[in-house]
Structure 1
Amino acid sequence: MKEDRRLPHKRDGFQVLKTKTAYVIFIVLTYAFGYFSAYYSRQPLQQQQPPSPAAVRDVKTTKPQVCSIDNFRVTTRCGNLVPPESIRQTVIDRIFNGTSPYTDFPPPHAEKFLRPKRIKGWGSYGAVFENIIRRVKPKTIVEIGSFLGASAIHMANLTRRLGLEETQILCVDDFRGWPGFRDRFKDMALVNGDVLLMYQFMQNVVNSNFSGSILPVPFSTGSALEKLCEWGVTADLVEIDAGHDFNSAWADINRSVRILRPGGVIFGHDYFTAADNRGVRRAVNLFAEINRLKVKTDGQHWVIDSVK
C-alpha cells in the first residue's frame, strides 16, 4: 500500500519535467556548463609566458618578407623613339587616319553651338610656364588635362614668342568634363549627350591661330599615355592637370614619366590649392620620395626636374 501511494508522486514529478519551463531551464544550464568549461580550458593558453628576449631578437633579425616597390612599376618597354619633327604626323596617322582633325572644321552639326572663343582655365597663366619653357626649350610638350585649352594656348604663345616655332603641344583629355560641370558652364551645349568640349577646345585653338601647333588626343589619360609610349612618342615637357584625387594624380605621374625624354621636366598644378585635399600633393611627394627626386614649387605648381 505504501508503494502504491508513492507511485502517483513519482508520476507527478515526471510530468513537471516535461513542461516547457523545465525544458528551457535544462537548455540554459547545459549551455552555461559548456561555455564555462570551454572558458577555463582556454585559460592556460592566454597565460602563456612572454617570449624570452633571445626569441624576440631572433624575430627582429630574421629577414622580413619585403614587398618591393618594383612590383608596382610598369616594366613594359616603349616603342622605338619617334623624332620630334615626326611626332605630330605620327599622332595624326594613328588617331585621325592621316587627316588633321582641323580639316573642314567645324562640322556642320556642331558649328551653331560653338562660341568664337570660350577659354577658361585654372592656374593657366602662372610664371611657371615661361620659366620652364625658357629653360627646357621643348620640342614636344604633352599636356595631361586640357579642358578648353587655356594653358595649352598660353604655352603655344610662349613658344612662339621665344622663337620655338617647331614646338608641338599634344593635349590629352577625354573632353567630357566631369559629372555636373555644366552647372558651372551652362552655356556649353549638349547635343545627344555630347557636351561638345572637344569642338569648343578646337574652336579656341583655331581662333588663336595655333592649329598647327596644338593637337588634341581625345582619350582618357591612361589609355592615351599607354599608346603614346607604345608608338614611341616622347616629350621634353609634361604638364599634369587632370584628375585631382590621389589615385588619378599618382597614375598620371607614373604613366607620364614613361614618355619623358632623359633630362625632361614634369610639372603640374594644384600643389598649393584646395585640390590638394584630395591628394595631388601626396601623390607628387610619394613619387619623388620613392624615386629619390626633389620637388620644387613655383607658385601653385610643382616641378620635378630630370626624372630620368
Structure 2
Amino acid sequence: MKEDQRPLQQRNKSPTSKLFTRGAAYVVLVLLSYTLGYLSHTSPPQQQQLQPPSPVFQLADSPSQLDNFRVTAPCANSPLPPHLVFPTILDRVFNGSSPYSNFPPPYLSSFLKQKRIKGWGSYGAVFQHLIKRVKPQVIIEVGTFLGASALHMVNVTRELRLQTQILCLDDFRGWPGFRDRFKDIKMINGDVLLFQQFMQNVIYFNATGSVLPVPFSTASGLEKLCEWGITADLIEIDAGHDFISAWGDINRAYRILRPGGVIFGHDYFTMADNRGVRRAVNLFAQMNNLKIQTDGQHWVLDTSLAKHN
C-alpha cells in the first residue's frame, strides 16, 4: 500500500470539519442578506422621507397633472355676431319658436306663482359696476335658478340704455333636497316646475326680449355654445360650488369669452375656502396669468388686465 504523501495538516482535516466550515459560511451569508433587506425596507431613501406634498398651486408648473381636467371639445372657427345669438338658440334649442309663446299652458297656470324670485348675491353692486364698464352686448349666466340676478341685470342694462341679450344656462332641476326649502315650487309627476316658474318670472318683468333660457347642464351647454360659435362679453359663474364643478364651468366659460371680456362669479368667500370655488378661481387665474379682483362676495377676472410675462 502506497504511503500518503499529503502534508500532515491536510491529512488531519476530517469531512466533519469541512461540512462545518461550509455550513457556517452559508449561515453568515443568509444572515447578512436578511439584515441588508431589513434595513433597506425600514429605511426609505431620505429624499422620499423629506419631500413634502406639492401645494395645489404648484400644479400650474406641471400641466400634465391637470390633463384630466382640461376641456377639449371643439369650438367654431369664428364667433357669431351678437345679433345672431338669440336666433341661433331659438333654432337649435327651441325648434325655431320662442319658449314664451302661449305660456303658460292652461294645465300649468294654477301651479305657478305670478312671480317667485329668489337668489343669493343677486343684487350686489358688482353687476352694475361690470355692466357699466364692459357695456356687454351678450351676457351668459351659468347657474340661474329662478332668475333673480338675470332679471336684475336686465334692469341695469335698461337703466344704461344698452341692448343686451342674456342667456341663462341651467338644467333647472335645482339640487337634491332643494324643495325642503322651496316647498312652494310645485312638482308634477316628478318634474319640478323650476324652469316653468323661471319663465313666468321673465314674462312678469317683461324681459322676454332680453332673456332666453338654455335648459341644459352647465358642462354640456357651455360646450354646445362653444361649438355653435356663441360668445359673450360678460359671463357670470354661479352654479355648482364644489371645486370640480366650478373648475369645469370656469374653464368652459373662458373659451366662449370674447377677448378683453370679464368672467365673474359668486361664493368666493365661503366656509369651503380652498376646497371649493376659491380654489378653482385661484388656480385658474394663476395658470392663465389673470389678476383676481373681488367686489363684495364676488370674484372678478378681467382679461383686459391679464398679466404678461
Asked if 2 retains the 8 angstrom alpha-carbon contact of 1:244 and 1:276, the reply is no
Alignment of 1:233-248 (within 5 A): 233-248=230-245
Other-structure match for 2:227: 230
Other-structure match for 2:83: 85
Aligned-pair RMSD on alpha carbons? 2.5
Other-structure match for 2:270: 273
Structure 1 distance, partners of 2:276, 2:66, is 22
Structure 1 distance, partners of 2:63, 2:258, is 29
CA drift at 1:272: 1.4
Q: 1:277 to 1:182 in 2, by over 3 A?
A: farther
Alignment of 1:276-295 (within 5 A): 276=273, 278-295=275-292
Alignment of 1:1-308 (within 5 A): 41-47=33-39, 68=64, 71=67, 72-79=69-76, 80-164=78-162, 166-274=163-271, 276=273, 278-306=275-303
Letter in 1 for 2:131: I
Asked if 2 retains the 8 angstrom alpha-carbon contact of 1:141 and 1:237, the reply is yes
Asked if 1 retains the 8 angstrom alpha-carbon contact of 2:169 and 2:214, the reply is yes
TM-score using structure 2 length: 0.78
Letter in 1 for 2:154: A
Unaligned runs of 5+ in 2: 1-28, 46-61
Asked if 2 retains the 8 angstrom alpha-carbon contact of 1:133 and 1:159, the reply is yes
Structure 2 distance, partners of 1:38, 1:102, is 85
Asked if 2 retains the 8 angstrom alpha-carbon contact of 1:270 and 1:276, the reply is no
> What is the aligned length?
259
Structure 2 distance, partners of 1:190, 1:219, is 19
User: Which stretch of structure 1 is more off in the superposition, 282-291 or 126-135?
Assistant: 282-291
Q: 1:234 to 1:67 in 2, by over 3 A?
A: closer
Structure 1 distance, partners of 2:190, 2:66, is 42
SS class of match (1:158): helix
CA drift at 1:95: 0.2
Asked if 2 retains the 8 angstrom alpha-carbon contact of 1:295 and 1:304, the reply is yes
Task: Note the alpha carbon deviations across 1:140-167, whole angstroms, 9 max, x for none.
Answer: 0000000000000000000011010x21
Q: 1:213 to 1:303 in 2, by over 3 A?
A: same
Structure 2 distance, partners of 1:82, 1:102, is 24
Q: 1:155 to 1:67 in 2, by over 3 A?
A: closer
Task: Note the alpha carbon deviations across 1:271-292, whole angstroms, 9 max, x for none.
Answer: 1134547511111001111112
Asked if 1 retains the 8 angstrom alpha-carbon contact of 2:73 and 2:223, the reply is no
Other-structure match for 1:21: none
Q: 1:147 to 1:278 in 2, by over 3 A?
A: farther
Q: 1:76 to 1:242 in 2, by over 3 A?
A: closer
Letter in 2 for 1:44: L
Other-structure match for 2:14: none
Q: 1:294 to 1:103 in 2, by over 3 A?
A: same
Asked if 1 retains the 8 angstrom alpha-carbon contact of 2:235 and 2:253, the reply is yes
